[in-house]
C-alpha cells in the first residue's frame, strides 16, 4: 500500500519505512543489534546516539551501502532488499552525507548531473535546479563552481541533488556540524516544508537541543541497540542524555582562571597564502594567548583553520619570523621540532595519519613527539623508558587499550584522541594548541579531554582551542574569537557573548570593518590576500 504525499493525520497509514530486527556485526564490534525503527510519512524522525553507537551503520544499511546480517526492511508496507544506493534512490530514499562528494572544479549543475540518470540530466536541468532550490529556501546558481562556495552552500548542493530525485524519505547525517546558528534555522524551515509535503525525514545527530526543536519522534541508540523511543518535544535534555549514555551529560569543572603562567603565544599580522589552490589565504591574523587562559577560535570549517594550524604548529613555516612569537622568541621560520623544544604541544585534527602513525604501536607513537622526555640515549631509543611513558599516558588518561603495544588504529576514535592529548600534556608544555579536540569522539571521552584542557589551563599553560562545536567552546574557553574567510575577529570574553553573536561573526560580519580599520591605520596598507 503506497501513500503519495499524504500528511501524517490520514487514517491508519502504513509506515513509510519500517526496520525490524536489523543486525550487523563486524569482526571487532557489533554495530547494530536487533534494531527496530519505524518512520511515518511526513514525519521528522531523529536517530540519536553518541559517536560509536551505530547510527552511521544503520543509515548505510537503509541507503544500500551495507547489507545487514539479519532483519527485514519494509518500504510502504512491502518487504524490500536494498542492494545498492541506486536501488535506494529508485525506491525514493535520498541521503545527504556528513562528508560531501562534490568535485571542486565542476559547477553545481555538472555535479548534480553526475548523480542523475541519463535523460534527467539533459537540457532544462539548470532551470529545474533554480526552481527547486528557490522553492525550498536554498537558493543556488547552477553555474557557480563548487570551489567558490562555502561549506554551508555546498551542503545546499547536496540537498538539492537529493531533492531533484523527488525522495519520499530523506536521510540527513549530522547536517548542522558545518553550519552557523543562523544557517541552522534556515535548514530547519526547509526540512519543515519538506515534511509538510509528505516526505519523511530521518535526522541523525547527537545535538540534543536541535533534536528537541525540530523532531517529532526520536529513536535513541546506545551500543548498537535501541535504548529508547520518545517524542523529543516532550523530553528534557537530561532525559534524552540518560537514554543516550545512561547518565547525565558531564560538564567540566570550570573555575575562574587564577594562575597566570609565563607561557605565551602571540601572533601578529599573520598573512599566509594557502598551499592548496582551493584553500583559504590568511590575512592579517592577530591573536594572543597568555599562560593560564583558554582562548577558543570558532568557525565553520573551510575558513582557514587548517592553514592557521599549520602555520602555528610549524608544519608550514612562514617567511616572516616575527609573525609568530612563542614565549618571547620569534619562531615563524622554525619547524615543528624547534617549536616543540621551546615548549609548544599540538593536537592535530586528524588522528590517524597525522597525530599518530596507524600501523605503529602506542609506544612508538609516544616516541613520535615525546622523544625529548629522556626517551633516547645518545641517539638510541631507550625502549623501557618509551614503554613507561606510553603506559603512564594510558593510565592517567583512561585510554581503553590492551597495552602500550596495541597499534594505534586498533583503538577507537575517542581512545586514540585521549592518548594523543595525553601524550602532549605529559610533555609539560607551556603552550598547547588543540584542533577539533573532540571531533568524532564519544561523550565520555569528550568530557575527559575537555577536563584535561581545563586542568592544563589551571596549571598556567596557555591553551588555544580551535573547534567547530560552539557548545564546547562556551564550556571551556575564557575568550572566544571567530575565524572567517581567513581573518580573525577580536577575542571577547566568553561570558560577554552568546551563540547568536558568534554565529553572526562566523558569517563574516566583522571583515568589512576590519579591512577599513586596517587600511586607515597603516600608510602602506596591509596586502589583501583576497
Partner 1 sequence: MAWLSPFLAAAATLAIGFVLFSILGKNPFAAFYVFFVKPIDNLYGFGELLLKASPLMLCAIGLAAGYRANVWNIGAEGQLTLGAICGGGVALAVPDGAGAWALPLMLIAGAAGGMVWAAIPAWLRTRFNANEILVSLMLVYVATLTLSLLVHGPWRDPEGFNFPQSKLFADPALLPNLLTGTRLNVGFLLALGVVFAAWLFIRRSLSGFQMRVAGLAPAAANYAGISARRTVWLGMLIGGATAGIAGVNEAAGAIGQLLPSMSPGYGFAAIIVAFVGRLHPLGILLASLLMSLLYLGGEAAQMGLALPSAVTGLFQGTLLFFLLAADVFINFRLRLIRRAPAVASARTVAAA
Interface residues toward partner 1, by CB under 8 A: 26-27, 313-315, 335-340, 346, 348, 350, 353-360, 364, 367-369, 371, 376, 379-381
Residue 344 beta carbon to partner 1: minimum distance, rounded to whole angstroms? 10
Closer to partner 1 by CB, 232 or 404: give it. 404
The closest of 221, 240, 245, 201 to 24, measured between CA atoms, is: 221
Cell of 220: 535513541
Residue 381 beta carbon to partner 1: minimum distance, rounded to whole angstroms? 6
Residue 338 beta carbon to partner 1: minimum distance, rounded to whole angstroms? 7
Cell of 274: 594557502
Closer to partner 1 by CB, 244 or 411: give it. 411
Between CA 504 and CA 12 the distance in angstroms is 45
Closer to partner 1 by CB, 239 or 407: give it. 407
Closer to partner 1 by CB, 70 or 513: give it. 70
Residue 468 beta carbon to partner 1: minimum distance, rounded to whole angstroms? 20
Between CA 249 and CA 281 the distance in angstroms is 38
Residue 174 beta carbon to partner 1: minimum distance, rounded to whole angstroms? 25
- Give, in degrees to the nearest 5, the angle at Cα 103 between 97 and 105: 155
> Which residues have a Cβ under 8 Å from the Cβ of 73 and sit 6 or more positions away?
17, 18, 19, 20, 22, 61, 62, 79, 80, 81, 82
Residue 321 beta carbon to partner 1: minimum distance, rounded to whole angstroms? 17
Q: Which long-range contacts (CB under 8 A, 24 or more apart) does 265-268 make?
A: 265/289, 265/312, 265/324, 265/325, 265/326, 265/344, 265/431, 265/433, 265/462, 265/464, 266/324, 266/325, 267/312, 267/323, 267/324, 267/325, 268/322, 268/323, 268/324, 268/325
Between CA 370 and CA 389 the distance in angstroms is 9
Residue 357 beta carbon to partner 1: minimum distance, rounded to whole angstroms? 4
Between CA 313 and CA 335 the distance in angstroms is 8
Closer to partner 1 by CB, 346 or 439: give it. 346
Closer to partner 1 by CB, 322 or 341: give it. 341
Closer to partner 1 by CB, 288 or 407: give it. 407
Amino acid at each position: 500500500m503506497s501513500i503519495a504525499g499524504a500528511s501524517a493525520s490520514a487514517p491508519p497509514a502504513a509506515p513509510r519505512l519500517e526496520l525490524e530486527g536489523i543486525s550487523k556485526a563486524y569482526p571487532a564490534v557489533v554495530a547494530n543489534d536487533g534494531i527496530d525503527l519505524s518512520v511515518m510519512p511526513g514525519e521528522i524522525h531523529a536517530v540519536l546516539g553518541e559517536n560509536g553507537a551505530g547510527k552511521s551503520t544503520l543509515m548505510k544499511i537503509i541507503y544500500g551501502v551495507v547489507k545487514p546480517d539479519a532483519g527485514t526492511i519494509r518500504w510502504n508496507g512491502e518487504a524490500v532488499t536494498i542492494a545498492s544506493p541506486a536501488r535506494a534512490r529508485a525506491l525514493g530514499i535520498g541521503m545527504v552525507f556528513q562528508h560531501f562528494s562534490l568535485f571542486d572544479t565542476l559547477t553545481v549543475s555538472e555535479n548534480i548531473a553526475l548523480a542523475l540518470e541519463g535523460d534527467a540530466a539533459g537540457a532544462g536541468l539548470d532551470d529545474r535546479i533554480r526552481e527547486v532550490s528557490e522553492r525550498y529556501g536554498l537558493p543556488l546558481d547552477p553555474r557557480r563552481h563548487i570551489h567558490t562556495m562555502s561549506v554551508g552552500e555546498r551542503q545546499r548542493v547536496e540537498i538539492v541533488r537529493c531533492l531533484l530525485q523527488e525522495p519520499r524519505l530523506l536521510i540527513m547525517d549530522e547536517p548542522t556540524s558545518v553550519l552557523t546558528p543562523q544557517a541552522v534555522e534556515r535548514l530547519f524551515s526547509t526540512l519543515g516544508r519538506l515534511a509538510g509535503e509528505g516526505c519523511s525525514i530521518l535526522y541523525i545527530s547527537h545535538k540534543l537541543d536541535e533534536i528537541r526543536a525540530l523532531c517529532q519522534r526520536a529513536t535513541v541508540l546506545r551500543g548498537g541497540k535501541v535504548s529508547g523511543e520518545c517524542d523529543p518535544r516532550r523530553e528534557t535534555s537530561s532525559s534524552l542524555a540518560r537514554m543516550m549514555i545512561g547518565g547525565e551529560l558531564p560538564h567540566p569543572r570550570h573555575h575562574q582562571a587564577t594562575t597566570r603562567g609565563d607561557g605565551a603565544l602571540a601572533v601578529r599580522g599573520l598573512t599566509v597564502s594557502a598551499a592548496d589552490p582551493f584553500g583559504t589565504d590568511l590575512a592579517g591574523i592577530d591573536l594572543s594567548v597568555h599562560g593560564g587562559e583558554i582562548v577558543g577560535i570558532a568557525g565553520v570549517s573551510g575558513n582557514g583553520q587548517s592553514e592557521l594550524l599549520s602555520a602555528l604548529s610549524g608544519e608550514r613555516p612562514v617567511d616572516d619570523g616575527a609573525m609568530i612569537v612563542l614565549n618571547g622568541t620569534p619562531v615563524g621560520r622554525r619547524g615543528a621540532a624547534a617549536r616543540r623544544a621551546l615548549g609548544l604541544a599540538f593536537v592535530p585534527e586528524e588522528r590517524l595519519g597525522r597525530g599518530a602513525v596507524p600501523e605503529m604501536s602506542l609506544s612508538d607513537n609516544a616516541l613520535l613527539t615525546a622523544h625529548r622526555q629522556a626517551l633516547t640515549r645518545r641517539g638510541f631509543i631507550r625502549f623501557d623508558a618509551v614503554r613507561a611513558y606510553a603506559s603512564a599516558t594510558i593510565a592517567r588518561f583512561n585510554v581503553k587499550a590492551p597495552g602500550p603495544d596495541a597499534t594505534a588504529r586498533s583503538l577507537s576514535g575517542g581512545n586514540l584522541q585521549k592518548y594523543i592529548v595525553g601524550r602532549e600534556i605529559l610533555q609539560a608544555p607551556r603552550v598547547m594548541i588543540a584542533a577539533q579536540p573532540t571531533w568524532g569522539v564519544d561523550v565520555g571521552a569528550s568530557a575527559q579531554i575537555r577536563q584535561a584542557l581545563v586542568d592544563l589551563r589551571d596549571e598556567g599553560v596557555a591553551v588555544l582551542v580551535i573547534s567547530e562545536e560552539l557548545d564546547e567552546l562556551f564550556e571551556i574557553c575564557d575568550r572566544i574569537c571567530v575565524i572567517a574567510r581567513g581573518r580573525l575577529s577580536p577575542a571577547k570574553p566568553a561570558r560577554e557573548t552568546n551563540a547568536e553573536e558568534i554565529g553572526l561573526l562566523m558569517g563574516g560580519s566583522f571583515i568589512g570593518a576590519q579591512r577599513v580599520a586596517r587600511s586607515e591605520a597603516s600608510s602602506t596598507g596591509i596586502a589583501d590576500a583576497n
